[in-house]
Homo-oligomer: A and B are copies of this chain.
Amino acid sequence: MKFSIQKDRFAQSVQDVLKAISSRTTIPILTGVKIDATEEGIKLTGSDSDISIESFIPKEEEGKIIVEVQQTGSIVLNARFFNEIVKKLPSEKAEIEVVSSFQTVIRSGQAEFSLNGLDPDEYPHLPQIEEGEVFKLPTDLLKALIRQTVFAVSTSETRPILTGVNWRMEEGQLFCIATDSHRLAWRKATVETEANAEYNVVIPGKSLNELSKILDDTQELVEIVITDNQVLFRAKHLLFYSRLLEGNYPDTSRLIPTDSKTRLKLNTKEFLQAIDRASLLAREGRNNVVKLSMIDNEMIEISSNSPEIGKVTEQVRSGEIEGEEIKISFSAKYMMDALKVLEGTEINIQFTGAMRPFVIRPENDDSILQLILPVRTY
């Protein structure tokens, strides 16, 4: 294997596949990045067996020569060192050559690195995904779907299925749902799909987080292929594979109340900042709990109390208050997480009682909702 390549483009691709590579893997070859030089260009692969990322660098891009392959071939190089080296190469160009029994030389300017590589034949094969039904999402919408749900997955392995986000496709609508059983994030989107495909899968939260980091904020379409145990996201020159979680995701539709006894309209930013201030003193106390109560039909009060340190109260004006009076306590963290991902300047909160889950929605937008379970304090 021997090729020369534009350093910056190469460094970006190495950085991308590195996101799949864990230094704590028990399979030594997976600490490496696999490099394949073919007549078409350079393919880089990184994997931790849950997530696999493939990045392709074509010989030419926009009429500019990026790669020159003198000899095709493959090698696996320690990902952490290789990444550091590529980033710091002195010249704009790098030359990579396997000289003997996996020993690989990297030349750039006056610098020459020699790395002990590993046998590329020992590198595991990526999942084979049959090119069946495909659906497409613009990259920025995909990133929004992830951002607005993935924060609510469970971080505990007690119920492993809850560490993933449930993706259900029904009648051309994609529903993304995450819950850690204390709060729930729900988002739907209309999807470009060829057939009337129906899916019901659970994608690990970690995979979605890593995917989101790699994708740029563009409107280019990402192709998504779902099989029994794998999902593949295909963007330009990038393949992102993740395994799916096994098991049945709980039916969350029953959790979302359909009626309400109290309804509040609030300015999102003002409310978020008031919760943030109240949480300053709540953090030390019982699990970051703040209280919300009504003062009159225009004002609510946010408060928290941490006997050793002090207390805080703040009044927030509500655009509209309807229904029964309510006093309710909840986690400031869950509320802030939810408010941060809701778009729009105004939100509605619907309560059905101090001990029942309540729902937060942006004003005039039914594509997203956040649900939080209250905490018993009164």
Checking B78, B276, B309 against A309 with a beta-carbon cut-off of 8 angstroms, the contacting residue is B78
Checking B113, B116, B277 against A88 with a beta-carbon cut-off of 8 angstroms, the contacting residue is B277
Checking B90, B109, B112, B313 against A313 with a beta-carbon cut-off of 8 angstroms, the contacting residue is B112
Instruction: Note all chain B residues with C-beta closer than 8 A to A103.
Output: 310
Do A113 and B281 touch across chains, with their CB atoms under 8 A apart? yes
Do A111 and B274 touch across chains, with their CB atoms under 8 A apart? yes
A277 to chain B, nearest CB (A): 5
Q: Bits for A127-138, please: 1 = Cβ < 8 Å to B, else 0.
A: 000000000000
Do B315 and A110 touch across chains, with their CB atoms under 8 A apart? yes
Instruction: Note all chain B residues with C-beta closer than 8 A to A90.
Output: 273-274, 277, 314
Instruction: Note all chain B residues with C-beta closer than 8 A to A89.
Output: 277
Instruction: Note all chain B residues with C-beta closer than 8 A to A115.
Output: 309-310
Do A308 and B85 touch across chains, with their CB atoms under 8 A apart? no
A109 to chain B, nearest CB (A): 8
Checking B109, B273, B277 against A85 with a beta-carbon cut-off of 8 angstroms, the contacting residue is B277
**Roughly how many angstroms separate A314 CA and B114 CA in the complex, as a whole number?**
11
**Roughly how many angstroms separate A89 CA and B278 CA in the complex, as a whole number?**
11
**Roughly how many angstroms separate A291 CA and B274 CA in the complex, as a whole number?**
59
Copy count, this protein chain: 2
A25 to chain B, nearest CB (A): 17
Instruction: Note all chain B residues with C-beta closer than 8 A to A81.
Output: 280-281, 309-310
Q: With A90-B273, A273-B88 in contact, is A312–B280 under 8 Å at CB?
A: no
Say yes or no for A39: interface residue by CB 8 A criterion: no
Do A114 and B274 touch across chains, with their CB atoms under 8 A apart? no
Do A116 and B308 touch across chains, with their CB atoms under 8 A apart? yes
Which residue of B has the minimal Cβ distance to A109? B314
Do A116 and B85 touch across chains, with their CB atoms under 8 A apart? no
Instruction: Note all chain B residues with C-beta closer than 8 A to A277.
Output: 85, 88-90, 111, 113
Considering only residues 275-289 of chain A, those with a C-beta below 8 Å from chain B are 276-277, 280-281
A341 to chain B, nearest CB (A): 20
Instruction: Note all chain B residues with C-beta closer than 8 A to A239.
Output: none
**Roughly how many angstroms separate A85 CA and B280 CA in the complex, as a whole number?**
7
Instruction: Note all chain B residues with C-beta closer than 8 A to A116.
Output: 308-310
Do B84 and A312 touch across chains, with their CB atoms under 8 A apart? no
**Roughly how many angstroms separate A325 CA and B144 CA in the complex, as a whole number?**
62
Instruction: Note all chain B residues with C-beta closer than 8 A to A308.
Output: 116
Say yes or no for A311: interface residue by CB 8 A criterion: yes
**Roughly how many angstroms separate A312 CA and B105 CA in the complex, as a whole number?**
9
Do A280 and B310 touch across chains, with their CB atoms under 8 A apart? no
Q: Bits for A343-374, please: 1 = Cβ < 8 Å to B, else 0.
A: 00000000000000000000000000000000
Considering only residues 80-119 of chain A, those with a C-beta below 8 Å from chain B are 81, 84-85, 88-90, 103, 109-116
Do A312 and B112 touch across chains, with their CB atoms under 8 A apart? yes
Known: A85-B277, A88-B273. 8 other contacts (CB 8 A): A88-B280, A90-B274, A110-B316, A111-B312, A111-B314, A113-B311, A113-B312, A114-B312
Nearest 5 Cβ contacts at the A-B interface: A115-B310, A111-B314, A110-B315, A113-B312, A114-B310
Q: Could you list 30 examples of A-B contacts with CB < 8 Å?
A: A78-B309, A81-B280, A81-B281, A81-B310, A84-B280, A85-B277, A85-B280, A88-B273, A88-B277, A88-B280, A89-B277, A90-B273, A90-B274, A90-B277, A90-B314, A109-B314, A110-B316, A111-B274, A111-B277, A111-B313, A111-B314, A112-B312, A112-B313, A112-B314, A113-B280, A113-B311, A114-B310, A114-B311, A115-B310, A116-B308
